[in-house]
């Protein structure tokens, strides 16, 4: 996979440019190895969920959060060096808020962090 394109997609996601990051991750998905696709698809579904939230479509956001979270849980978390556990926990909390009819923005937006490398 093209690492430059991957890090650009992560940057767009973390800048809250949901639509643009979706497009970038979708482009990566098309060229990815089969073992990488599940994780990429989960991330891009979370980006689309955020687009739905911006447009007031909480039902669409709820569905895509759930589908994206399901893919993230099945994916190989180690293939991109991202902290998918932390990312998934954030998505799960926002999904719970939506399911309860509460504002998901009561909790932080999902961000893609690199796995910290403990050097101690």
CATH of the domain at 60: 1.10.3450.10
Any idea what DSSP says for residue 78? G
Alpha helix (H) residue ranges in the chain: 3-14, 18-31, 34-54, 58-74, 84-99
In a domain, 12, yes or no: yes
The separation between the first and the last C-alpha atoms of the chain, rounded to the nearest angstrom, is 31
Residue 111 included in any domain: no
Question: pLDDT (tens digit, 9 = 90+) per residue, 61-100?
Answer: 999 999 999 999 998 877 789 999 999 999 999 999 999 9
**pLDDT, tens digit, for every residue of 23-41?**
999 999 999 998 899 999 9
pLDDT tens track for 13-26: 999 999 999 999 99
Model confidence at 120, pLDDT cuts 50, 70, 90, reads: very low
- 117 within some domain: no
> Is residue 98 included in any domain, yes or no?
yes
Q: Rounded CA gap, 113 and 107, in Å?
A: 17
What pLDDT, on the 0 to 100 scale, is given for residue 119?
42
Q: Please, are residues 90 and 14 in contact by the beta-carbon 8 Å criterion?
A: no
Confidence of residue 117 (pLDDT cuts 50, 70, 90): low
Q: Model-level pTM?
A: 0.91
Report if residue 42 sits inside a domain.
yes
Domain that holds residue 97: 3-104
- Total structural domains in the chain? 1
């Amino acid at each position: 996979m093209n690492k430059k394109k991957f890090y650009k997609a992560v940057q767009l996601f973390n800048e809250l440019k949901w639509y643009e990051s979706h497009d970038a991750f979708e482009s990566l998905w098309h060229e990815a190895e089969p073992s990488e696709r599940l994780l990429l698809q989960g991330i891009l579904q979370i980006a689309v969920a955020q687009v739905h939230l911006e447009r007031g479509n909480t039902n669409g956001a709820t569905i895509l959060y759930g589908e994206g979270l399901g893919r993230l849980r099945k994916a190989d978390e180690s293939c991109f060096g991202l902290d998918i556990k932390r990312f998934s926990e954030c998505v799960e909390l926002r999904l719970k808020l939506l399911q309860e009819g509460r504002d998901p923005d009561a909790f932080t937006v999902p961000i893609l962090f690199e796995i910290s490398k403990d050097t101690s």
